[in-house]
Amino acid sequence: MRVFEALNWASSFLKDKGRDENAGDILLRHFLEMSYAQMLASLQDVIDEKLFAQFQDAVTLHGEGRPVQYIMGYEYFYGRMFRVNEDTLIPRPETEELVLEAMKRIERKFNQPEITAADIGTGSGAIAVTLKLEMPKLRVTATDIYAPTLQMAAHNAGELHADIEFIEGNLLEPFTKAGRTFDVILSNPPYIPDSDKSWMSEVVTAHEPHRALFAGVDGLTIYRDLIKQLPAVLNLSAIVGFEVGAGQSEAVKQLLQDTFPKAAIQVVYDINGKDRMVFAEM
């Protein structure tokens, strides 16, 4: 079978299954180890039978609901490859904007030689690793409540040569117990209301870890817990940045304002015009 025939088959198969037809394109590039431009230049090439069989199996798996990223075993974030499996949430492009916005604020606010930062609920380690590699002067710590998730994050940090401290624990508890404080706290916590499970795609709900997705009746449970713990772990001059779900920004802003009345708190919109981030500066 030629490349263009394989693409046509995958597109038709996935359309019938109600999946994203572009997934076939992503998967074939993965197996061919080609860029998009290289694949376009190779449309008439014949695919090795063994490789095509692997591609068919992968497309079938996605048709059954398995995320493409878990099939391939990786996703790109900020131009870097991060390994993922079903113990880790798949990094999203929106979270790149949280990192970018945080770095702008860090650069503007701090002028000391070392800045301490913590990524809470690190998942694949995408936020922590990117912060460290983009801003080497940061001393970065990352936490997660689930040991296998933390192991994957540590693996990614090792592969990408990012010097990060990893600590297993629930939210900020490891730091409150140890009496540690930070200049920067970032988190992309679970924020989907439990009721949303009923209409979300099974590609997400049947495969990605629910502890990294859902957070109570209104999706704000983790924000409440985090913000309650924040005063004990922040330095006097500090930045807090959260990714939030659609329509949650004002509620999270108010939670922060109630806890830090003198802080400058701002809702930040993403490239698609959605209220995606909330930042507080003390």
Q: Encode pLDDT of 15-73 as tens digits.
A: 999 998 899 999 999 999 999 999 999 999 999 999 999 999 999 999 988 899 999 99
Question: Cα–chain-centroid distance for residue 89?
Answer: 6
Q: Is 144 one of the annotated binding-site residues?
A: yes
For the chain, what is the mean pLDDT? 90
Q: Is 190 one of the annotated binding-site residues?
A: yes
Closest CA to 253 of 240, 270, 271: 240
151-155, 208-212, 253-257: which has the minimum mean pLDDT? 208-212
Q: Is 247 one of the annotated binding-site residues?
A: no
pTM for this structure?
0.88
Q: What single string gives the DSSP state of each residue in 105-163?
A: HHHHH--SS-EEEEEES-TTSHHHHHHHHH-TTEEEEEEES-HHHHHHHHHHHHHTT--
Rounded to whole angstroms, how far apart are CA atoms 260 and 238? Answer: 11
Q: Give the Cβ contact number of residue 219 at 10 Å.
A: 25
Q: Is 221 one of the annotated binding-site residues?
A: no
Q: Is 191 one of the annotated binding-site residues?
A: yes
Q: Is 189 one of the annotated binding-site residues?
A: yes
Q: Is 170 one of the annotated binding-site residues?
A: no
Question: Cα–chain-centroid distance for residue 228?
Answer: 23
Q: Encode pLDDT of 136-187 as tens digits.
A: 999 999 999 889 999 999 999 999 999 999 999 999 999 999 999 999 999 9
Q: Is 209 one of the annotated binding-site residues?
A: no
